[in-house]
Amino acid sequence: MAVLPAGSNVYGADFPPSQFDQDWTTILNITTTTYVAGTPEVAVSMTAPSSGKVLVCMGCGIRNNAATTERAIVTYQIFEDSLNGAVFSAPLDDRGVKSCGIAVSQEYQYHGNMDLITGLTPGRSYYFQVVHLSLAGAGTVDIASRNIMVIPVP
């Protein structure tokens, strides 16, 4: 093994690869008022770095295709180990995208949101799954795209 010169930057082997998933399949006339993953599922697995922190960036295209105040929420939930694991963090609308709810029929609007997830167990695998719902279940909100990126951070 090579000698490490003074002044070298020493990095722990604690930055696993960033992960990204996306899908542009439209999901139309959404009626569910509880969070569902949709088809196909958009999700990534990530091994937590030693900081126990990751940056999650998600985006989507959503609209209300009616002159009502109906809204859609696209966000994500986090499981320990895998989709079959314990819920580490349930879906939160504040860290996702919630549409505007103006009472006019809208074209698709594309937005993103990012959040710092903390308290992960270093070295443990986590499963980040994009989920969505409609607030009133009116069947008028649509999704054009969904994406999620998870980046290990200090």
Partner 1 sequence: MAEIKAGDEINTGWWPESVRVVENTDQNNITSTAFTAGSPECSTTFVAPLSGRVAVIVGAEMRNEDTGNNRVFVTFEIRLGSVAGAVVQAAVNARGVSTTGDAQASQFMTHGNMSMVETLTPRATYFIRAMHHVDAGTLNDIGHRRICVVPLP
Q: What is the SS3 assignment for 125?
A: strand
Q: Which CB, 90 or 100, lies closer to partner 1? A: 100
Q: Is 19 in the site for partner 1 (CB under 8 A)?
A: no
Stretch that binds partner 1, among 31-39, 77-85, 115-123, 140-148 (CB under 8 A): 115-123
Q: Is 11 in the site for partner 1 (CB under 8 A)?
A: yes
- The rounded distance, in Å, linking the Cα atoms of 91 and 69 is 22
Mask for 41-80, x = binds partner 1 (CB under 8 A) = ----------x-x-x-x-----------x-x-x-------
Kindly determine how many residues on this chain lie close enough to bind partner 1 according to the rule CB under 8 A: 38
| CB-CB contact of 101 with 70 (8 Å) | yes
Query: Residues with Cβ < 8 Å from 39, sequence gap 6 or more?
Result: 25, 27
Residue from 13, 84, 86, 154 in contact with partner 1 (CB under 8 A): 154
Q: Which CB, 4 or 39, lies closer to partner 1? A: 4
| CB-CB contact of 112 with 17 (8 Å) | no
CB of 12 to partner 1, least distance (A): 6
Determine if residue 29 is left, alpha or beta; phi over 0 gives left, psi from -120 to 50 gives alpha, anything else beta: left
- The rounded distance, in Å, linking the Cα atoms of 113 and 120 is 20
Residue 137: phi and psi, rounded to 5, are 70, 25
Q: Is 119 in the site for partner 1 (CB under 8 A)?
A: no
The residue type of 132 is H
Q: Is 111 in the site for partner 1 (CB under 8 A)?
A: yes
Question: By the criterion CB under 8 A, which residues form the site for partner 1?
Answer: 3-12, 51, 53, 55, 57, 69, 71, 73, 93-104, 111-116, 118, 153-154
